[in-house]
Structure 1
Amino acid sequence: MRYVIFLLFTILLLSCTTTLKEGGGDNIKHQLSIEPVFHSSHEPEKKSAPFSDVVQVGDIYYLSGQIGMDHSTRTLVDGGITAETKQALENIKAVLKHHGLELDDVVKATVILDDIQDFSAFNEIYQAYFPQKPARTTFAAEALARGAKIEIEVVAIKVAQ
């Protein structure tokens, strides 16, 4: 009896696989086998960084976190949480632009604050950059790289046009 059930299950499974291939299953198979692309930075100073600025999987772009660093001077901008938030978001805009994306393509953001008391000031700036309201996680951490007050990472989707 077990062999009969096994045989019937195998036949059913094979017929489903055939149906998927005939009905566009190649597209499903293609989507599931997409290889990630690890993009190096567009900034010469970051070419040897131990991480990718962007990892692309199909049409999804995972950006590494950005802090409020002025990339021309390689130092944090002056002005506290407000200035650092603006600079971090401008850095994100620059990376997105390099890959043919815009802030409107962002669907998820993760925000790390050095001090949760900065939440309101950060949020005021953030809202101006993301009127589409992507999903977001915000939390505070003990200390951030280079003494930054904020780090923001995003996920964006390139929509075919």
Structure 2
Amino acid sequence: MSAAVQHIAPLGRYPAYCRAGDFIHVSGMSARQADGSVAGVRHLPQGGVVFDAAHQTRIVIAKVEAALAQAGARLSDCVAVTAYLTDMADFPAYNAIYGEYFDGRAARTTVGVHQLPHPHMVVELTVVAYKPQAAGEGA
């Protein structure tokens, strides 16, 4: 993993991932940090806020990678990725970082959404990975 990832409890009652047979479904990951702040946000002295979609994408992918590692899988095991962007103008920045981590084998859908759970979140990803269980492992 290229970005430092701390364990962050979800805001709701759901797991970071869930295994269904040989498939691992990773819950939506954002750039929210352990202290509740969101990475990739810069507060301007005059009161505005600037969002760095590339930085948020890097953090989000690192968190997805960490969840997959807990399940015994890797990014290369992903078969489907769904990305949510609050501003499709961020697509080029998001797409450039995405391409550094994913080799194009996973099906991908990118959706523009009105908002995410926190107003500073501009990128969220969820993935499905295929990783056959070792013989004798439970679901």
TM-score by length of 1: 0.67
Higher relative contact order (CA 8 A, sep 6+): 2
Given candidates 23, 43, 46, the residue that maps to 1:60 is: 23
Contact 1:109 1:154 (C-alpha < 8 Å) held by counterparts = yes
Residue matched to 1:114: 86
Q: Which amino acid aligns with 2:57?
A: T
Query: What RMSD in Å do the two structures reach over aligned CA positions?
Result: 2.1
Residue matched to 2:46: none
Q: Which amino acid aligns with 2:128?
A: V
Q: CA deviation at 1:146?
A: 1.4
Q: Determine which structure has more spread, i.e. the larger CA radius of gyration.
A: 1
Residue matched to 1:75: 37
Q: CA deviation at 1:51?
A: 1.7
Pair 1:51 & 2:17 matched: no
TM-score by length of 2: 0.76
Segment drifting more, 90-99 vs 45-54:
45-54
Partner SS state of residue 137, structure 1: strand
Residue-pair matches, total: 118
Q: Deviations over 1:40-80 (max 9, x none)?
A: xx94x527832222121101011101011234x33211251
Superposition map of 1:122-133 within 5 A:
122-133=94-105
Cα 1:97–1:120 shift into 2, 3 Å: same
Q: CA deviation at 1:124?
A: 0.2
